[in-house]
Amino acid sequence: MSILLGLLSLIASIAIPILIMVFTNYELISLGIFFVIPAGAIAIGYVCGFGLFKGLILSSKRITAKHFVIVMLMALISFTSIKYITYSLTCINTETGEIEYSMDGDHVSNYEVPGYGSMTFLNYSKLMIESTPISFSYKSRSMGEVDNPTVSWVFAIINFIGVFIGAVAAGIGFKDKHQYCESCNNYKKSKKIFKILKTDGQSFFEELEMLTNDVSDSTSLKQIVEKYGKVKLGNAFFEGTLIYCNNCRKSTLSVKLFEVSSTNKIHENDEFEYNVNLNFNIAREYIKEDVA
Ligand SMILES: [Zn+2]
């Protein structure tokens, strides 16, 4: 499963930028934001790594360091293939002298450039790095020619690294989102079960504590949650996620705090952390459909 999905996303990471280039003449891989963030390369790396990690999750295989090495190799293959296929399709329009991408034009290898020699893949890549205008999405301005070859090489290296960053980020993202149950060799499941206003937090956590300490066995978690009103937009809130393993019947309640900034954007407050082991019988009312 992970091999199949890994190959599919490797192919996608090569095909998508090539198709974009053929149809729009735009090189996704050199898209940068704020001059230094290689957004295009990171996106390509992310797509490249996505399938492998998704496959590992789906087949309940643990993500290990080995997989990060594999995904870096895949990113290298993806990067090289994109560059090589781009080169293979690079032709010169005989009337305008400009570059166009086509299967049957006058291929760039028929040309020589003073100082670079005949346009082999390596010579052409060097020329492209040292003379391509780098486009920036920031305010959709183009910076025009970058004349300084050193600066151009720095950009090229940042771009190259971007592909790896994207691929590794895909793995870290999946690893963070899916907890692994060591005793069952399986991924735990998770389910968001409530949102509660921050202002209701204190009384909610008091009741929750009573429940988890088994002081009161007459109420259920659901009853406590339902006591509090719905969270309206624009208010800070707590979000509770149940993380559980059906097999060994262990469950944890993880609560996160989301605050609203002055510009009305919701963001997680990283300083707040609340995790409590929950008796599986309490958790069960939320996961009935999964447990026989
Ligand atoms: Zn387990």
Q: What is the pLDDT of residues 15-28, one digit of tens each?
A: 999 999 988 888 88
Torsion sign (Cα): 76, 79, 84, 85: positive
d(CA 177, CA 199): 27
Whole-number Å distance, alpha carbon 239 to ligand 1 midpoint, is 24
- Give 54 Cα–ligand 1 centroid separation in angstroms: 20
Average pLDDT over residues 3-13: 94
Q: For the chain, how many residues are written?
A: 292
Cα–ligand 1 centroid distance for 188 (angstroms): 7
**Which residue is listed with tokens 């300083």?**
271
Q: What is the DSSP letter of 29?
A: G
DSSP type of residue 136: B
Question: What distance in angstroms lies between residue 279's CA and the mean position of ligand 1's atoms?
Answer: 14
> Of the given ranges (114-118, 128-132, 195-199, 203-207), which has the lowest mean pLDDT?
128-132
The CA 199 to ligand 1 mean position distance, Å, reads 35
Which pLDDT value is given to residue 26?
Answer: 83
Q: Please tell me the distance between residue 248's alpha carbon and the centre of ligand 1 in angstroms.
A: 4
The Å distance, Cα 4 to ligand 1 centre, comes to: 27
- In this prediction, residue 72 has a pLDDT band, given cuts at 50, 70 and 90, of very high
**Helical spans, DSSP H, in the chain:** 2-24, 39-58, 65-89, 121-131, 149-177, 201-212, 221-227, 280-284
Of residues 165 and 143, the one with the higher pLDDT is: 165
Q: Ligand 1 centre from 180 Cα, in Å?
A: 8
- The DSSP code for 36 is T
For residues 145 and 163, what is the distance between their CA atoms, to the nearest angstrom?
Answer: 24
Query: 92 and 105 in contact (C-beta within 8 Å)?
Result: yes
Number of H helices, E strands in the chain: 8, 12
Ligand 1 center–CA 185 separation, angstroms: 7
Residue 51 confidence (pLDDT) above 50? yes
How far, in Å, are 4, 41, 67, 247 from residue 186 at the CA level?
20, 32, 17, 9
Which residues are CB-contacts of 244 (< 8 A; sequence separation ≥ 6)?
188, 189, 190, 191, 250, 251, 252, 280, 283, 287
Q: Would the pLDDT of 146 be above 60?
A: no
User: What is the per-residue pLDDT for 102?
Assistant: 86
189 CA to centre of ligand 1 in angstroms: 10
Residue 223 tokens, joined: 């009853």
172 Cα: distance to centroid of ligand 1 (angstroms): 22
141 pLDDT more than 60: no
